[in-house]
Amino acid sequence: MAELLLPRYLDEIARLDLAAINTSAQIPPEFLLAREGRYSVHYIPFEHVNTRARLVIVGIAPGFVQWKNAMREAQRQLAAGASTDDLLRAARLTGAFSGAIRPNFVALLDAIGVQRWLGIESCATLFDVDADLVHIGAILRHPVFDGEKNYSGSPGMAKVAFLREQVLRYFAEEAAALPDALYIPMGASVAEGLAWLAGEGVIRRERILHGLPHPSGANAERVAYFLGRKERAALSGKTNADQLDAARERLLAQMAGLLSAQAGG
C-alpha cells in the first residue's frame, strides 16, 4: 500500500473550524491535492481499506457534505486519542449507506444471491456483525469538485485524463488489495469507470456486478420492479422493464456461475 497521507494533515484537521466552512470553495487550500482546469481534488481521510472484504461497494466520489462529516468524525477521533487506523476506519464509515437506501440495497443484493456467495443469511448483516466482509469505496477516493459543485459523473471519468489519473492513483490501489472481491457499482458512471478499469486489467470483468438499480429512494419504482414488488403493467413510462429484466437475468446467471466456481463445480 502507498504511504498514508493522513499524517500530513493531522494538524490541519485538528484546527479546522467546520462551522465556518459551508461550500467547497471554503475548504482550506492546505487540503488541495490536485487541480486541472475546472476540476479540483481535496484530501479526505478515506485511506482505510478493509483487506478482508469480499464485497466492494463502489460509489462515485465523496461530496462536500461527506467531506465535512468525515472531517468532523476525524476531529472526534483525534480528541479521543484514537489510533491512526481507528481514525481512518471511523471516518470512512461515517454515514455509509444510512437511512432508507440501506434496506433497498440489502434486498437487491439478496435477490441475486450475493448472501449465498458470502455464506451469510442476508446482506443485512454486512452493516453490523459481518461488516468485515464489505469495503465501502469510491472510484474517486477524494472529493472531486467541478467548479464549486460535486463531480456528478458527467463527462465520464474514463474520458477525462485528469480523472483517470485519480482513479488509477487511489482506487486501483484498493482494487489490487482486493483481487477476489465482488464489485458493486453504484450508478451508471461508476459502472462505466469499473468497465474501463477491467479493460486496463485492474479488475476482473466477471467480478463486477453490473445492472443493479441504484437503491436510492428516487429510484423506488425501478427497485420495486427488479424485486418483483411491482407489476410491469403498473409501471410508469420512465421505467424500462425490458432493460431491468435483462439485467436481472444476467446478474442471476453471473451469480450462479460464481457460486458454482466457489463450490468447485
Band the pLDDT of 218: cuts 50, 70, 90.
confident
pTM comes to 0.92
What pLDDT is recorded for position 97? 67
102 burial type by CB count under 10 A (0-12 exposed, 13-18 middle, 19+ buried): middle
With pLDDT > 90 as the criterion, what percentage of the chain qualifies?
A: 90
Task: Give per-residue pLDDT as tens, 165-188.
Answer: 999 999 999 999 999 999 999 989
Task: Give per-residue pLDDT as tens, 15-73.
Answer: 999 999 999 999 999 999 999 999 999 999 999 999 999 999 999 999 999 999 999 99
Q: Give the Å distances, CA to CA, from 65 to 13, 61, 71, 151, 204.
A: 16, 11, 10, 13, 32
Whether the per-residue pLDDT at 265 is higher than 80: the answer is no
Contact call for residues 57 and 137 (beta carbons, < 8 A): yes
Band the pLDDT of 98: cuts 50, 70, 90.
low
Distance spanning both ends of the chain, measured CA to CA:
34
What pLDDT is recorded for position 3? 82
Band the pLDDT of 81: cuts 50, 70, 90.
very high
Task: Sketch the domain layout of the chain as residue ranges.
Answer: 14-262
Whether the per-residue pLDDT at 4 is higher than 80: the answer is yes
Taking the C-alpha atoms of residue 53 and residue 61, their distance in angstroms, rounded to an integer, is: 20
Peptide bond into 215 cis (omega under 30): no
- In sign, the C-alpha dihedral spanning 146, 150, 156, 158 is positive
What pLDDT is recorded for position 99? 67
Taking the C-alpha atoms of residue 73 and residue 13, their distance in angstroms, rounded to an integer, is: 10
Contact call for residues 67 and 110 (beta carbons, < 8 A): no
Torsion-angle region of 210 (φ positive above 0: left; ψ -120 to 50: alpha; else: beta): beta
> In which residue are the cell numbers 428516487 written?
218
What pLDDT is recorded for position 1? 58
Residue 213 DSSP one-character state:
P
Measured CA angle at 223 (ends 98, 61), to 5 deg:
45
User: How many residues in the chain?
Assistant: 265
Whether the per-residue pLDDT at 80 is higher than 80: the answer is yes
Asked if the 14-262 domain carries CATH number 3.10.310, the reply is: no
Mean per-residue pLDDT, 84-88: 94
